[in-house]
Amino acid sequence: MSEPTRILLVGCGRMNLSHVQGLKNLPDQATIVAGVDPFEAARKHIETEHDIAPTFAELQDALNQVDADAAIIAVPNNLHENYTQACLKKGLHVLIEKPMALSLKDVDAMIATAEAEDRLLMSGQSQRFSTAIRYVKHLLDNNTVGKIRHVTHRRLGAGRGGDENSWFAKQALSGGILPGIGTHSLDVLLWWMNDKATSVSAIVQNIDPHPAIDIEDEVSLVAQTDKGAILNCALSFHHAAGTDWTIMGDEGILHLNGTNGPLLLNGKEQEIPESVPLDGEAQIHQEFLTAIRTNRPLAQASAQDVRKTMALIFAAMESGRTGQTVSVD
């Protein structure tokens, strides 16, 4: 058996703590060799509560002093591209939390570097690894509803996940609701459909302005896909109306409530199996680590695949700014 993959944890806050737990469940496959965070309290917490050492305030110091095979990066969204580039150029495979970056130019630059360095670059599209969402993908791949004509989705919740002191409350740092949660929603839809968007029209608003909170927090969009389907999505940080997905084809309708079910096919509830036969591994860390250890391409959530999600995100943001229908690159 090969030695565990050595992981550099970049960012020691809430998001990466979930990655710590996931890696602890795979001790034969991965070991965290160091942590990076500019805040001393975060470094102390991960040292004392999770026995991760050494820790560094600066990424470059860690890259210069620690031998690692891969990095898991969970830092403010505006730092994603710079931190990913630094790790890739040091020869590390990278799992970058979503959104990959805050512009398509940066996404493309990250992909180009990963390919030039022959490193894996995976986007943290964790919803692709939800069993219910994977089962919908399995059903659609097996033509359960026929040709997909129209997909609707809403993710409407109260709360943005950060107060006025949080970086997430700043548009320049987080990108707002579309990069924040739209990356999950739109990635699932395009993945399910095995499709990409060609154009989008969106209304994007900050409906509750605050001197310290300037993020876009309310969205409704309609997109056309390459295969001729209509994609309709509503996102909110203000209205706790829940999450649901409806996929309408010429031979049936699937409806998923939330991300775990219940799941209905033509109005009849379906049993969601414990495991779903899809390419790759059924858990995000295991997929990342297995691809590294077996020297194979990522079967799920590669940056190259997720690019189409990011292209739709940024086109929708442009449509919101201009009031025009925008072509998706």
CATH of the domain at 295: 3.40.50.720
Domain of residue 276, residue span = 127-280+308-327
Mean pLDDT of all residues in 243-270: 97
28, 119: one domain: yes
Provide DSSP, 100-149.
Answer: S-SSHHHHHHHHHHHHHHT--EEE--GGGG-HHHHHHHHHHHTTTT-SEE
Whole-number Å distance between alpha carbons of 313 and 101: 11
Q: What is the pLDDT of residue 217?
A: 93
Is pLDDT of 1 > 60?
A: no
- If one counts the domains in the chain, the total is 2
144, 274: one domain: yes
Provide DSSP, 234-297.
Answer: EEESEEEEEEEEEEEETTEEEEEETTT--EEETTEEEPPPSS---SS-SSHHHHHHHHHHHT--
Least confidently predicted of 22-31, 86-95, 206-215: 206-215
Q: What is the pLDDT of residues 9-31, one digit of tens each?
A: 999 988 888 999 999 999 999 99
Is pLDDT of 129 > 70?
A: yes
Q: What is the pLDDT of residue 66?
A: 98
Mean pLDDT of all residues in 209-216: 83
Whole-number Å distance between alpha carbons of 305 and 324: 26
112, 193: one domain: no
Mean pLDDT of all residues in 248-258: 97
Beta-bridge partners for 281? none
Q: What is the pLDDT of residues 229-246, one digit of tens each?
A: 999 999 999 998 999 999
258, 297: one domain: no
Which among 162-171, 209-218, 275-284 has the top mean pLDDT?
A: 275-284
pTM of the model: 0.96
Pair 137, 278: CB distance under 8 Å: yes
150, 258: one domain: yes
